[in-house]
Amino acid sequence: MTQKRGRWSRDDQVGLVIHLFRQDLFVLEDDEGFADCRGVQSLMRQLQRETLKRGTALELLIQGAVIDVLAELCSSETPQAQRLAQFLHLWFQDRKSIIQIAALLHLDRSYVGRAMKDPALTLVAQRFLRLTQHEDPAEESQGVREARHLHEQRRLRATERFAIRRGSQGDVWNPQEVLNRHNVMHSPNATTTS
């Protein structure tokens, strides 16, 4: 957000948010465009155990915005709202491309891009922007609460898998041992065997 002079328009902000969709945590961590927003800062403070706090906070806000918009669209009975909800599910949850979505829905891909992708992603981006302005996005959004819950479940499962894997090998992970091995491998006197 530092390249443009003056105030960013709402359309500019929406475009920046849409660019963040489907990015990995490392890309999100490096993005400074929304780092100073109240909602992002609030979530970062709540994520004490995370290594990539900003990336995780942005990911949770994106997921929360998607969940909120999906809930809103699914509660509507209009065909357009149902199509947008279907698109969002395929785009975010199933990670399908426009071509794949068009084939699944038996639609022209230019129609999917113009009539479904643009309005659906704009709705999510607008919700994301509103969440970034709240002091506590989790209090404001059922979607953010659900995204945090799912994130914690994934984190617990990963910790359990790591503990089981390490336990089955009969050893305990020792950070100092890992550091020592790293230093030996990368020391100037290390010899390589071919």
Residue 194 resides in a domain: no
Spatial CA neighbour of 147 closest among 88, 60, 23: 60
Q: Where are the beta strands (DSSP E) in 20-118?
A: none
Does residue 1 register a pLDDT over 50? Answer: no
Asked if 64 and 143 touch (Cβ cutoff 8 Å), the reply is yes
132 burial via Cβ count (<10 Å: 0-12, 13-18, 19+): buried
Residues 102-114: pLDDT tens digits?
999 999 999 999 9
CA distance 26 to 24: 6
Query: How many domains are contained in the chain?
Result: 1
CA distance 52 to 66: 21
Amino acid at 40: V
Residue 55 resides in a domain: yes
Spatial CA neighbour of 124 closest among 68, 78, 54: 68
Residues 139-183: pLDDT tens digits?
999 999 999 999 989 888 888 877 766 655 555 555 555 556 555
* Domain containing residue 123: 10-185
**Residue 142: how many CA atoms within 13 Å on its side-chain side?**
6
Residue 191 resides in a domain: no
Residue 95 resides in a domain: yes
pLDDT reported for residue 71? 95
Amino acid at 176: Q
CA distance 129 to 173: 41
Residue 125 resides in a domain: yes
Give the global pTM. 0.78
Residues 70-128: pLDDT tens digits?
999 999 989 999 999 999 999 999 999 999 999 999 999 999 999 999 999 999 999 99
CA distance 157 to 58: 22
Residue 50 resides in a domain: yes
Residue 1 resides in a domain: no
Residue 77 resides in a domain: yes
